[in-house]
Amino acid sequence: MDEAATLATIECRKCPSSSKDALFWFRFNDPDEKSRRASNGIQSTASPEDGTVADKQVEREQWSGKLDFLLSVVGFAVDLGNIWRFPYLCFKNGGGVFLIPYSIMVLLTGVPLFYMELCLGQYYRKGAITTWGRVCPLFKGIGYCVILTAFYVDFFYNVILAWGLHFLYTSFSFNLPWASCNNTYNSDACYEPHWSDDGTAKCRSANQSVSSEKISAAEEYF
């Protein structure tokens, strides 16, 4: 038997022998079917000789303990916004009164939506766009909005991080820039506070009785 006949025989063995086998092989090679099997942790191997497919359940990774999962979730949820932006929002919206509607909305919407996002991510093991597309093709836009929102938030978060690095770098200098009025940006109202000040000559009193308004060097710097 020559080489051409041998190759033809091998190709015929790979072909399905019946319509049922052809349908099965079509579903096996379908991209959506492969993606579904991969998301469910199923690894399929096909035998070209007899056209059979063997499914093997792939063992999914597990957390070593509840503490590891809790710390991972906290690291994902708690960011710079909780440390820096939340106190600012409380101050701008009435102080402690703001905590009442905030706590109600967190319990009613924030925690359930956050838990739903965790469950969908663990079940599908995909990104934001693909996960919402698996739930419903129309929901794929939610994934795009989530990524776009994170992209826009990164702009001012990076600025805040740059401020922190700048303050950390300048704090190592011997003469702190916010401790004196000898800088180009200082105004005529700038003053350098000292422990010996009586609190009236250079500072505004509590009842605003002093007419000349002074601003400390630290206030002008920050």
Q: Is 78 annotated as a binding residue?
A: yes
Q: Is 75 annotated as a binding residue?
A: yes
Q: Is 40 annotated as a binding residue?
A: no
Tokens 């905030």, residue located: 102
Q: Is 77 annotated as a binding residue?
A: yes
User: Do the beta carbons of residue 44 and residue 54 sit within 8 Å?
Assistant: yes
Pick the closest to residue 213 from 197, 199, 202, 222 (CA basis): 202
**CB < 8 Å & 24+ apart, contacts of 13-20:** 13/48, 13/49, 14/48, 16/51, 17/51
What would the two tokens of residue 130 be? 């693909």
Q: What residue numbers does the annotated binding site cover?
A: 75, 77-78, 82
Q: What residue numbers does the annotated binding site for Na(+) cover?
A: 75, 77-78, 82
